[in-house]
Amino acid sequence: MENINVDLNAYKTFYLVAKYKSFTKASQELFISQPAVTQTIKKLEDQLNIELFKRLPNGTIAITPAGEVVYYYAEKIFNLASANKAVIEKAKDASFEIINIGVPAHIGAFFLSKYLKKFNDKYPNIKFNIINKKSDEMITMLKKRELDVVIDTNMNELEDDLLTTMKILDLHSCFVCGEKYKFLANNKTIGIKELLNYPLILPGETTSNRKMIDYYFKEKGIVLSPLFEVNSSSISKQLIIEGLGIGWMIKEFVKEDIEKQILYELNVNFENILTPVSLAFNKKFNHNIIKEFIKVFKQNEN
């Protein structure tokens, strides 16, 4: 890789021009002439081989997408009082060393690995950093560019000026029990109201999955009152195995447990509630390597 000397003065000049969207204001703050500012920006563009600003017909300037990337890191440079040539490599949109992915455990456990393998086969040198946090926290991190993509359920209404989403697949749902309530699994069909005779384990009241469940049952004239409300699928599964109740789970998450007869699927008389899974990413900060990563999901094989 070619060594590039980082000129902090050039990045400071760029940072101020981008901040004020004005060569004049930048020159005033730097106490240098406007032609000197223009010359510095031109030299930096030549060095990076990218265009940082667009000159508009009305005489104003607009930062380019590549310029936004440089600005993001230039700001960090001055906050940290340090520079790193990785900034330039990322800004050139030519190489990306790591992809930061936000995904809930109950999705990543059964779903993500096969797509990571497909991508890794093509780009073996790209590293992955996988984060598991609450949905709203991961979206905030995505908007702050601390994550590159977020894979989560029910993100249909997330579209805005900054983020966009792409649906990947639908997950299926089921009611399951452990050994204690195994006798229920032997029944041909269990009525919805019959479920109310047993302790229920459901997602937390504020989760998107719980809202879908409540909406479905309210349409049937039923208000659910679960014994346990749990936001973690792993904890819910363990409570069900221990016999503390009958639980609603994403079927793909407990498929192996059902096959091993650790859990038992109940034949409940209700329509399958589908949970859409989408991939969200930042419109304005989208490297070529991220686009390649997204393509893996576009070629999804259900």
Specify the number of domains making up the chain.
Answer: 3
181-234 residue pLDDT tens: 998 887 678 888 888 899 999 988 877 778 888 888 888 888 888 999 988 888
pLDDT at 278: 87
Question: 224 in helix, strand or coil?
Answer: coil
238/293 same-domain check: no
* pLDDT at site 5: 59
pLDDT in tens, 58-75: 878 899 988 888 888 887
pLDDT digits 0-9 by tens, 257-282: 999 999 999 988 877 778 888 888 88
Is the domain of 114 the same as that of 199?
no
Residues 269 and 284 occupy one common structural domain: no
pLDDT at 2 over 50: no
Q: Does residue 117 sit in the same domain as residue 159?
A: yes
The answer to whether position 119 is within a domain reads yes
Q: How confident is the model at residue 83 (pLDDT cuts 50, 70, 90)?
A: very low
- Decide if 2 is inside a domain: no
> 112-171, pLDDT tens digit by residue?
888 888 888 888 888 888 888 878 888 888 888 888 899 887 776 666 677 888 888 888
Q: Are 189 and 269 in contact (CB under 8 A)?
A: yes
Final residue of a structural domain among 91, 114, 143: 91
Q: Is 160:229 a contact under the CB 8 Å cutoff?
A: no
- Taking the C-alpha atoms of residue 7 and residue 130, their distance in angstroms, rounded to an integer, is 33
pLDDT band for 242, please (50, 70, 90 cuts): very high
Q: Domain containing 200 — which CATH number?
A: 3.40.190.10
Please, are residues 69 and 90 in contact by the beta-carbon 8 Å criterion?
yes
137 three-state secondary structure: helix
For the full predicted model, state whether its pTM sits above 0.75: no
- Residues spanned by the domain of 149: 98-168+276-298
